Structure 1
Amino acid sequence: MAERPERLKGGAARYEAFLSEQLQQLKTALVSHYVCEADEPAPSPANDAKTGVGWPPPKEDSEMLSKPTEELLSILDEDQPIKFLQDVFPAGHIADPVERWGEFYTALVERGPRPTRAVAQELTLLSSWAAKLKVRSSASRSRQFATTIAGPQTPSSRNSHFLGEQLKDSWGISKCMLEPHGNLRMAWNFLGLLAICWDLIFIPLQMFDMGATMQGILDVMAYVIFVYWILDVPASFITGYDSGGILEMRVKVVARNYAKGWLVPDLGVLSLDIVIFIVFGVSSSSEGDESLPSLRIARALRLMRFARLLRLHKMWHLVDDLLDRVKTDSFLLTIKIVRSLAVVLAINHYVSCAFLSLALLLVDDGATTWLILADLDQVPFTTQYLSALHWSLTQFMPATNNIAPNTAPERVFAIFVVLIGLAVFSSFISGVTNTVNQLRQMHVDHFKTETRVKSFLTQKSISVDVWCRVQRFVRLQVVLAKKSLKEADIPLLKDLPLSLRVKLHHEIYMPVLLTAGWLTEEMVELDEQLVLKLCDKVFSEKVATALHEIFLEGAECSEVVIAGGPLRYDSSKLHGKQDVPQETWLCELCLWAHWEYRGNLQADGVVHYMVINGEGFASTMAHAGGALYHRMRTIGLLYVATAEAHDEHPESEGPLTDLALPKQQAQELSIRARQFSDLQPARKRLGSIFGPSVASRSGPSPPQQRT
């Protein structure tokens, strides 16, 4: 060791002498090359004296220049100078010393990087995956996420409930319970709405003689509607209800709620229908009595069916439930206007029936009513009804007609109708005005922007062609603003109850999560509560416009990108740009390891895409522990190992980019991870028999920090 400093000093001296000699040879070669190119005479002896260089070069210099690079480097016997020259001039790169020194000088001046071989980078695991494995029982998980699973729950399982929960019994009949907002119940309610509308229209018409054919149709429909309401009673016993934001599906609680509410009115109306059917059945089997008192009794019995209109209270709830399913604001406001118009028509229908029945009763008593004055006493019932309806509508809005009340009862009735019509018409106009204002308020920002753009274009005297193109762009921006709506743009959603928010995120993000090639339904079943928590905590939605750069090569990556539209990816490791299909995952490795973007991702248009926070995903999994955590950790280790193999051997394995592994390869990783998990029980059994040391040797343990 004592001789090493002396050797270094000697080597440095020889290296300095060799470098001086090489520089002198370089100068001689450059001058010779210049003379040959410019066809100029060689330098004079005077110049040679000044520069100390003779021309032509000495014989020994020519021999030195003709030697290969390796032989020149072998002149020096020390490692450090040889290593320096080998780094500057890679072996076999350039043999000519002029070219070698010229390249070295150019690189120094331009400060360009020297060509180096790409070195594979090691991927460092995130701390949540590199930590000690956690085993945590399902009982230690948060209660609010356990309540969101649609499994059976008992009242004694907890002392308090959360908004949006669904309470069920643990016994078999709970499977037959219907959700109040489910498709099946909505279809049944729609049939009930049609039945109520039929009764609303035709019950008052049963006071009149409409002919045998029409009366037969009414009788058949009466039986059909009676059967529907009979079946609705047991259906109501198995239909849950919303109790202060909690979906109550327990059989006893639902039955008790229906018994305290609509059970008695429903049974009363059904009993009345049964009495009417019996009376009419008995009267039809006996000899007919066409006397006037008998006809009036029959009409009175039919009028008893007005008790069915008690179900009108149900009608408003049914309509509200159906309107909740309307997703377009403009269509919803239009439906509200139509509903207000239908209410006005229903009121006029009953007013016209009452006005016509009053006239018929007075005619029977010998009075001169509006029917006689208008020569309508001998016309069919349809003409009489339409005339009465026309008169009723003219009382509710400014219009004219040729019918006027004649008797005192008719005039009293007309005065009452005018007063009611004033209130109803004013309310109708006010409702329509408010609805139209709501429609305008929805587009007020668009109207303001469009007006300002038109003013600007007018002031600048823009041509018609450019004017139209700008206008189309403004309208397109309005449409894009509606399409690019995200959850973060609605502050009210942040105030949702926890369990209801979890259900919302489950329906939005669970289909996206299942598009991962390494995730299977079997893995979700390992811990459904943890999967719900992932959907709630680590997912978010973003929007990119045309030519928007989502990420750039070389930047630090913190989130997975899941394509939701036309995206374009390019990387220095690939040839040309690639179109990214929908539901493609990019930068998956950031879920398990620290990652830097290997390319650029750009949007071709307005694109919704999902992102998963890598650190949040890892910490949520590690905090929960359990079988799913172990499985996901094994998948991550296999994924990182596969990625490093691609990075070390790009020629055979393919370059490592931000694009996800092929689906088949990702599924193979998942299968291998499951097979490794299946070995865990065997390892535990070995540990219980031979001790923990033998169990630990039965399989390799994954690295703690680096793979």
Structure 2
Amino acid sequence: MAYATAASGTSSDGSVGTSGSESMRLLRVFRVVRVARLLRLLKVKWLLETIGDAIPMSDYTSIVARVAQMMAILLYLNHVIACVFFATTTLGSYKTSWTDRYVEPGSDWRDAYMVALHWSLTQFTPAAMDVQPQNPLERAYTISVVIFALVGFSYVVGDISSCLTQLRNMSETSSKEFRKLRNFMRMHNVPRQLALRVTKFAEHAYSKQREAMPMSKVTLLNLVSEQLLGELAFEMNKPFLIIHPLFENMEAYATILLQRLCTKALVTKQLAHNDFLFVSGKQAEAMYFLSSGQLLYKKSMSEEDKEYVQANLDWVTEPALWLSNWEHLGTAEALGESVLISINAETFKKVVAHSNPAYIRVIQIYARRFLVWINEVPLHELSDVFQKELIEPQIRSFVPDGMLLGRSPSADLSH
């Protein structure tokens, strides 16, 4: 009889046990709220990580963003804890609650929330305040928050401390390197003007390197297969290469070859303002694509004959790939900080030699047509610079039509 009474929630005098059923309902509500809040927290964390991955950031910026992310998560956690602590005043049938003692009667709910938020923050830090739980429900909630804070506070503080240590190490490393550079200049009596130029460019290159994060700095990429590295390098450099019709054609019909070229033959080159890429009379060793900045090209035959090399529009010294004795016809100088992608001629030939024989033939046809055209150009019109808007139709006509139309390259082998 006693079991039946307890199960039905009815007392011995026939009254309904509202206290027990209300407690069970409140426990279920707490459980649902807790799960919902945790899911929302995971969603916020995922959203912050997604935003961080979508924005290009240097090592320094990413560490600062990580600290900001941890602070945001900590504030959100305290907001949730404060809201639940505030909600405990409306649950149960206790005579007193913390709001009755620590919040002025008739105060706005914002005042009570600020007190609850302050109380929540003190559970995660060594700080203290005079707000204390006033009934068993508030006491139980306070104990659970303190236990959670023991782990949560240690995790957040440890993560933030680790990030700040990384920032300090990065700052010390850069300061040490630039101090060594200045000492080197002073010990070797480098003229002040030149020393300032070297230091300024070193600072610019160092900041660019931190922002760009080259593949050599990513240790985990050493574990990636050669094919995946080729695909990665291909995707990074493809936008600059396919402005040339031959490399555009490679992307469509010889992707593996272009990936190998990106991995083995491509080198990134940085120039400071007024640096020379090459000078007149020097033998060409590479073909260049400008990824950022601008170059000024002057022919040696005429100082008034100038050309500007634009990023993602022009390419330089293509004959170096097809001739072994091409000498630069002028001088190329950087106008501001510039970044170039160079294709080494010798490495290009070695990579192509181990590619698909059919596409080797395609490249041979293109090279033969290109050299016939170069030999027909008057000497005073020859240049190291090839401007896309002027030369693209001519260069595109050298690529075998069968490849462009999607047919087998064997159709063009007889041409």
TM value normalised by structure 1: 0.45
Whole-angstrom distance in 2 between the partners of 1:644 and 1:479 = 42
Instruction: Give the aligned residue type for 2:354.
Output: H
Whole-angstrom distance in 2 between the partners of 1:621 and 1:446 = 41
Task: Flag the structure with larger Rg.
Answer: 1
Aligned to 1:480: 205
Residue by residue over 1:404-423, the C-alpha shift from the partner in whole angstroms, topping out at 9 and shown as x without a partner, is 34557756765665565465
Give the C-alpha shift of residue 335 in structure 1.
3.0
**1:511 partnered with 2:236:** no
Aligned to 1:333: 63
Change over 3 Å in CA distance of 1:397–1:527 after alignment to 2: closer
Identity %: 21
Give the C-alpha shift of residue 333 in structure 1.
2.4
**1:555 partnered with 2:282:** yes
- The 5-angstrom pairing of residues 209-608 of structure 1 reads 302-303=29-30, 305-306=32-33, 307-308=35-36, 311=39, 315=43, 316=45, 319-328=48-57, 329-353=59-83, 355-356=85-86, 360-361=90-91, 364-366=93-95, 368-374=96-102, 382-399=110-127, 401-406=129-134, 414=142, 417=145, 421=149, 424-448=152-176, 477-484=202-209, 487=214, 490=217, 492=219, 493=221, 495-516=223-244, 518-519=245-246, 521=248, 524-564=251-291, 565-576=293-304, 578-582=306-310, 583-597=313-327, 598-608=329-339
Whole-angstrom distance in 1 between the partners of 2:110 and 2:157 = 30
Change over 3 Å in CA distance of 1:576–1:595 after alignment to 2: farther
Residue by residue over 1:374-398, the C-alpha shift from the partner in whole angstroms, topping out at 9 and shown as x without a partner, is 3657766554444333223234335
Whole-angstrom distance in 2 between the partners of 1:341 and 1:662 = 50
Aligned to 2:393: 667
**1:616 partnered with 2:347:** yes
Whole-angstrom distance in 2 between the partners of 1:656 and 1:529 = 33
Whole-angstrom distance in 2 between the partners of 1:331 and 1:343 = 18
Whole-angstrom distance in 2 between the partners of 1:401 and 1:360 = 22
Whole-angstrom distance in 2 between the partners of 1:536 and 1:673 = 24
Instruction: Give the aligned residue type for 1:660.
Output: F
Whole-angstrom distance in 1 between the partners of 2:403 and 2:52 = 50
Whole-angstrom distance in 1 between the partners of 2:319 and 2:197 = 42
> Which is bigger in relative contact order (C-alpha 8 A, separation at least 6)?
1
Q: Which has the higher strand share?
A: 2
Instruction: Give the aligned residue type for 2:366.
Output: I
Runs of 5+ in structure 1 lacking a partner? 1-290, 457-465, 686-695, 701-707
Instruction: Give the aligned residue type for 2:320.
Output: C
Change over 3 Å in CA distance of 1:409–1:605 after alignment to 2: closer
Aligned to 2:361: 630
Identify the range of structure 1 (537-546 vs 392-401) with the bigger mean alpha-carbon deviation.
392-401
Change over 3 Å in CA distance of 1:622–1:317 after alignment to 2: same
Whole-angstrom distance in 1 between the partners of 2:196 and 2:250 = 52
Query: Could you say what secondary structure the match of 1:404 adopts?
Result: coil
Aligned 8 A contact 1:553 1:596 in 2? no
Whole-angstrom distance in 1 between the partners of 2:118 and 2:162 = 27
Residue by residue over 1:212-235, the C-alpha shift from the partner in whole angstroms, topping out at 9 and shown as x without a partner, is xxxxxxxxxxxxxxxxxxxxxxxx
Whole-angstrom distance in 1 between the partners of 2:79 and 2:387 = 69
Aligned 8 A contact 1:540 1:612 in 2? yes
Runs of 5+ in structure 2 lacking a partner? 1-17, 185-191
Whole-angstrom distance in 2 between the partners of 1:592 and 1:293 = 90
Query: Could you say what secondary structure the match of 1:557 adopts?
Result: coil
Whole-angstrom distance in 2 between the partners of 1:677 and 1:347 = 60
Give the C-alpha shift of residue 573 in structure 1.
2.8
Give the C-alpha shift of residue 610 in structure 1.
1.0
Give the C-alpha shift of residue 611 in structure 1.
0.8
